[in-house]
Amino acid sequence: MDSNEELLIVHQITFMIYEQARLADENRPVEQAACFTEDAIANYYGEEIHGREKIYNLLLPALTKWIASCHSISNVQVTVNDTESATSISYVHAWHRVDPNGVDDYEVRGQYHDEWIRSEQGWRISKRTFLTMAATPPRPDAPGINRLV
């Protein structure tokens, strides 16, 4: 694989990370779930969920209970293993509006640790683990990044 091909893969995966966040903010769980492979594994708060359909079933009630959300993605680092697989770490700051008056807004900051597979539809997440850095209100039970003190 030459450096141009590697740069293209990094760009395509980075775009999909942003796309998945945009689809969450637009309350489009069908398209958001399509960012995952059929047999993907997702772990958002310490429990593994197996399969795109179950991931969709997790996303649907979460997205519909918010009246607005904003997922800001940064610090994207992609490691290309070969032309068919890669890994990435990206930071997410997600804000969720639950009530029109801002009561019970929820914010979480953390990292997505993703594994990627190239499919016929393009790059898709085969495994996602979300690690929490902070949340308001706090989520002490959520898996964290194991920050060194």
Q: Give the domain CATH number at 77.
A: 3.10.450.50
- Residue 142's pLDDT is 86
Q: What is the pLDDT of residue 64?
A: 84
Residue 145 lies in a domain: no
In a domain, 143, yes or no: no
Binning pLDDT at 50, 70 and 90, where does residue 103 land?
Answer: confident
| Residue 39 resides in a domain | yes
Contact between 29 and 59 under an 8 Å Cβ cutoff? The reply is yes
Counting residues of the chain whose pLDDT is more than 90, the rounded percentage is 79
pLDDT at 8 over 90: yes
Structural domain of residue 40, as residue ranges?
A: 3-136
Mean pLDDT along residues 90-101: 94
In a domain, 149, yes or no: no
Q: Is residue 142 part of a domain?
A: no
What's the mean pLDDT in 90-102?
A: 93
Number of domains making up the chain: 1
